[in-house]
Amino acid sequence: QLIREIGSPPDAAGNRQAVDTTDDPASVETEPGFFFGPRDVAVSDEEVYVVDTGNERVQVFAPDGTFKRVWGGYGTGPDQFIEPVGITIDRNGLIWVADSGNARVSVFTPMGEPVQRFTVEAWPAPDPNGARPSFQPYLSFGQNGLLYVTSSQSGSVEVYDRTGNHIESITEVAGDTLQQPIGISPAANGDLLITDTGSNTIYRYTPTAQPPIAVIEEAGGSPVASPVGEASPDEAAPTSVTLPLPTALAGR
């Protein structure tokens, strides 16, 4: 059941606002509260942060959808983006954004003030002409406090500490080689769920030295749940799902 909408309302005929996608890299919509190609959302106790990818910005709303503020814009400056995609909030309330076109993770205060940024070497280098990239990176913190960043181009999940130091590259989960990991989100028990579009698979990864708990995959057109190791006591058994090109996901 639809509760409310945020963004461009339909006109009397039910049509949405038309957008011009040919003038790259140009802002498509400058009006606050409107979107073009939003990719991800992060929620704090009091605010909702939306990555307005096509407009190269982050918009902030109250839980009831009331617009509050916006920051960003096209460019390479510390408060700018080129094709931002994933977003997450750390335990201190800082906002972390996967800025794919600048091949970096950028960190902001809730008010949009730049705090730090660091390069993700596994991502394609920025285009010298400023063109938007085609891959979609997402990011999430593990229960160990480390940042996990997907890299579909390299078939890996890159791990960083909070200062931007690279810790490791994860290329295998549950004995399988990652092909095109895109979405990543925490599960209720602290594990990380990773969508691998290249293999039509959702992996459950435990961000410790322990083995992954389970992999949920589609095999030969029939969904199969394959447990790996022992399930956590507070985690229900994995369910079968059909996965046509899984991308982003959210946990709770």
pLDDT score for 47: 97
Q: Which residues pair with 119 in a beta bridge?
A: 104
Of 152, 122, 248, 243, the C-alpha closest to 193 is 248
pLDDT score for 240: 27
The overall pTM is greater than 0.75? yes
pLDDT in tens, the chain (252 residues): 666 677 665 555 555 554 444 545 555 667 888 898 899 999 998 999 999 999 999 999 999 999 999 999 999 999 999 999 999 999 999 999 999 999 999 999 999 999 999 999 999 999 998 888 889 999 999 989 999 999 999 999 999 999 999 999 999 998 999 999 999 999 988 899 999 999 999 999 998 644 344 445 444 444 443 333 333 344 443 422 335 555 666 555
The answer as to whether 53 is a domain residue is yes
Pairing of strands 104-108, 95-99: antiparallel
The answer as to whether 83 is a domain residue is yes
Of 73, 74, 75, 55, the C-alpha closest to 7 is 55
97: phi then psi, degrees, rounded to nearest 5? -125, 135
- CA separation for the pair 147, 132 (Å, rounded): 24
The answer as to whether 109 is a domain residue is yes
Q: Which residues pair with 194 in a beta bridge?
A: 184, 203
Angle 176-197-75 from CA coordinates, rounded to 5°: 120
Residue corresponding to tokens 């049509």? 15
The answer as to whether 42 is a domain residue is yes
- 163: which 2 tokens? 């200062």
pLDDT score for 207: 84
The answer as to whether 71 is a domain residue is yes
Q: Residue 80 belongs to a domain with what CATH number?
A: 2.120.10.30
The answer as to whether 46 is a domain residue is yes
How many domains does the chain contain in total?
Answer: 1
The answer as to whether 84 is a domain residue is yes
pLDDT score for 21: 47
Domain encompassing residue 8: 1-137
The answer as to whether 211 is a domain residue is no
